[in-house]
Chain A
């Protein structure tokens, strides 16, 4: 009975979403506040029904209701409780439901926190969010029903969750990612609402900034976590693969980062508004594209569409309507809402514009590299793949240029800055940081071009940021919470860059065959293979090897990498053992078993790899700090003014 109720909940939510979309719009059209006021309560109730359906599906997983096809496909009675809950979003149907749930959370949060925003704006924004809900609810009900049942012949046990997803990282990763993706729907809805209303003032940028910041922070957290998960679970010690799945989340991140910065210009100077609106639309479009690229299976094969044409067609049409529709609206209306504001060179706004250009180009390179093979495949022009060399070669120079302006940007002033002073200052900081790195090379005797560039850029950002902070305090200028956020995030970028540069240049690895008692040496560390034993897990059996990690004859750690065999799906998984500290990771992964307890083993030493994720965390906190800046919270006074 329960699963049917869950489905019913979705159907009711669909009707409510329709009401949420059209009643407030009617109110706006008729300039009737009563209909506009209707938006909030409907949004809350709609969210409740979605939450109910989600709870029902989660319940089906927790009680092992294998009569539900989706549960049978993605869970198993031996799966630990923890993972059974995470299995809710382990495959297509459930992740779409999670998407809808997250959308309703954002909708409710917006409805709740928007009391100070004029009623007609709220009505429009909620109506647009409602339309998006309608699109997704129709999608799930028509093509991806997670509550489908196999009755009366229901299987005794399920096919288990894909072992790769059985990890703490993957429990939190999709929800965070979706909180980010879907969060951009609020900025998107603001942009569309402004276009519809034909009114685009500085207040608009101010309203959408905290929402964009919040969503961006979640997305950053999601990407960071995804990278960490890939490093731990996919086995082979890489932290970023330029894989289409990763790119799918990186594309909206880049354009959202551009959006954040141009929103500031629109708020403070009323400039770049057309560009900001476009970025809001593009960011959300890329989020949609990302969700569907990953979830529809197109990345594995373009012909995934042919296997399930209903789903593919719906996705294509939905994307066409949302993206095409908003871009059409943009083309028609944008000229009416934008006024000319001139921007001078060497002002903060010009630096932010340059930052936007670089970020957009970076985003375009990723989009191109990701979609190009797909396009070729679609046209049957051959199968190719675009590998990391392309991305590294194109992306790294752009990031270095971006870093140059990241240092100068915060130092510049609105309207116009002193050009000479800025340049002199910039070159001073730059030469200091290059010098520092060169000294480091002399001390360590290991010169490397990439490290020189990467570290100098990182030091340059750090120095410039910290110095700006120092100057502001000297001058007794107040530093707002949003500014603190900026400093933190910029330092985070620099720290992540340090990690990237040092890991890429100085990591060391070795593939060796080890018998019990054998030793191997990598980067000054000695690895001694003691032996293996069998271990039994709840839904897997495992061969566990024991290694003694030593440096200078001193025992540092005992590491126990495993090779796990998941019996239901008949998949073997490599479970690496990692010894962590702030300056390096030592990483052991079991390869293939040989005779007499021998294993082929991959040994790594990865200096500074933690810094990448630590930088990511700093960026997240910076974003959150800025998102919750009180100055960005609209005061009730504004409302009175605009209503008067």
Chain B
């Protein structure tokens, strides 16, 4: 009575293991194909990246670099990390926090060397960054 049950259980576990390893294999494959590398302008310029591969590019929007194109919804701007700069082309609505001199992240691909087409622009309001402990310290010092 025990034995068939045992054997069945073993088969079940083996089947499970096969399923899981196939699943893990597929997942890892998908992961390899679909990650977005995060690069800085310097990396983009100094280490040539393959064209037409989805990338995330982060940097500062250079002051005075934003140009709106004739269609009204396309913009071009320069992203810089103060060593190297990349010209970014984007068609669409810019996020509310997009500003010159602001740190932003774009997602897109290189269509030619020096021509980055962004599909998405994200701005993080990190200028609001102010650790609380520090703020307290300031207030204490101001009080004395």
When A and B assemble into the complex, do they touch directly, with CB atoms less than 8 Å apart? yes
Of A307, A382, A394, A574, which one neighbours B131 at CB under 8 angstroms?
A307
A598: chain B residues at CB < 8 Å are 72
Within the complex, what minimum Cβ distance (angstroms) separates B5 from chain A?
4
* Inter-chain contact B31/A369, CB cutoff 8 Å: yes
> With an 8 A cutoff between CB atoms, is B36 at the interface?
yes
A601: chain B residues at CB < 8 Å are 93
- Of A364, A387, A563, the most chain B CB neighbours within 10 A belong to A387
Within the complex, what minimum Cβ distance (angstroms) separates B108 from chain A?
12
* Inter-chain contact A386/B71, CB cutoff 8 Å: no
> With an 8 A cutoff between CB atoms, is A298 at the interface?
no
A389: chain B residues at CB < 8 Å are 33-34
Of A150, A343, A384, A573, which one neighbours B37 at CB under 8 angstroms?
A384
* Inter-chain contact B72/A513, CB cutoff 8 Å: yes
Chain A, Cβ-Cβ closest to B68: A594
Within the complex, what minimum Cβ distance (angstroms) separates B53 from chain A?
12
A390-410 residues at the B interface, CB under 8 angstroms: 390, 393-394
> With an 8 A cutoff between CB atoms, is B83 at the interface?
no
In the complex with contacts A386-B34, A394-B26, A394-B27, A511-B92 CB distance below 8 A: yes
In the complex with contacts A150-B139, A382-B37, A390-B96 CB distance below 8 A: no
> With an 8 A cutoff between CB atoms, is B97 at the interface?
yes
> With an 8 A cutoff between CB atoms, is A361 at the interface?
yes
For chain B, give the interface size range.
35 or more
Of B31, B91, B139, B142, which one neighbours A390 at CB under 8 angstroms?
B31
In the complex with contacts A369-B31, A594-B72, A511-B26 CB distance below 8 A: no
* Inter-chain contact B92/A69, CB cutoff 8 Å: no
Within the complex, what minimum Cβ distance (angstroms) separates B54 from chain A?
7
Of B6, B20, B35, B132, which one neighbours A386 at CB under 8 angstroms?
B35
- Of B71, B73, B97, B136, the most chain A CB neighbours within 10 A belong to B73
Considering the chains assembled together, what is the distance between the CA atoms of A423 and B77 in angstroms? 60
> With an 8 A cutoff between CB atoms, is A571 at the interface?
yes
Within the complex, what minimum Cβ distance (angstroms) separates A331 from chain B?
17
Of A69, A307, A387, A572, which one neighbours B97 at CB under 8 angstroms?
A572
B124-144 residues at the A interface, CB under 8 angstroms: 125, 128, 131-133, 136, 139-140, 142-143
Considering the chains assembled together, what is the distance between the CA atoms of A386 and B12 in angstroms? 33
* Inter-chain contact B36/A372, CB cutoff 8 Å: no
> With an 8 A cutoff between CB atoms, is A418 at the interface?
no
Of A69, A236, A372, which one neighbours B31 at CB under 8 angstroms?
A372
> With an 8 A cutoff between CB atoms, is A600 at the interface?
yes
> With an 8 A cutoff between CB atoms, is B87 at the interface?
no
* Inter-chain contact A602/B36, CB cutoff 8 Å: no
Chain B, Cβ-Cβ closest to A354: B19
In the complex with contacts A153-B142, A368-B31, A393-B34, A573-B96 CB distance below 8 A: yes
Considering the chains assembled together, what is the distance between the CA atoms of A365 and B98 in angstroms? 33
Interface string of A506-533 (1 = CB under 8 A from B): 0000011100000000000000000000
* Inter-chain contact A591/B93, CB cutoff 8 Å: yes
Considering the chains assembled together, what is the distance between the CA atoms of A382 and B36 in angstroms? 11
Within the complex, what minimum Cβ distance (angstroms) separates A152 from chain B?
8
Considering the chains assembled together, what is the distance between the CA atoms of A181 and B5 in angstroms? 37
Chain A, Cβ-Cβ closest to B23: A361
Considering the chains assembled together, what is the distance between the CA atoms of A389 and B31 in angstroms? 9
Of A308, A390, A513, which one neighbours B34 at CB under 8 angstroms?
A390
Considering the chains assembled together, what is the distance between the CA atoms of A429 and B71 in angstroms? 51
* Inter-chain contact A382/B38, CB cutoff 8 Å: yes
Q: A511-B73, A573-B96 are in contact. List 8 more A-B contacts (CB 8 A).
A: A73-B132, A342-B9, A364-B24, A387-B54, A511-B93, A513-B71, A513-B73, A594-B72
21 contacts between A and B (CB under 8 A): A73-B132, A152-B143, A153-B143, A340-B2, A340-B5, A340-B9, A343-B12, A364-B27, A368-B27, A372-B31, A382-B38, A384-B36, A385-B38, A389-B33, A390-B35, A393-B34, A513-B71, A563-B96, A569-B128, A571-B125, A572-B96
Q: Return the 10 tightest CB-CB contacts between A and B, nearest first.
A: A513-B72, A591-B93, A383-B38, A390-B34, A572-B96, A342-B5, A389-B34, A153-B143, A511-B73, A384-B35
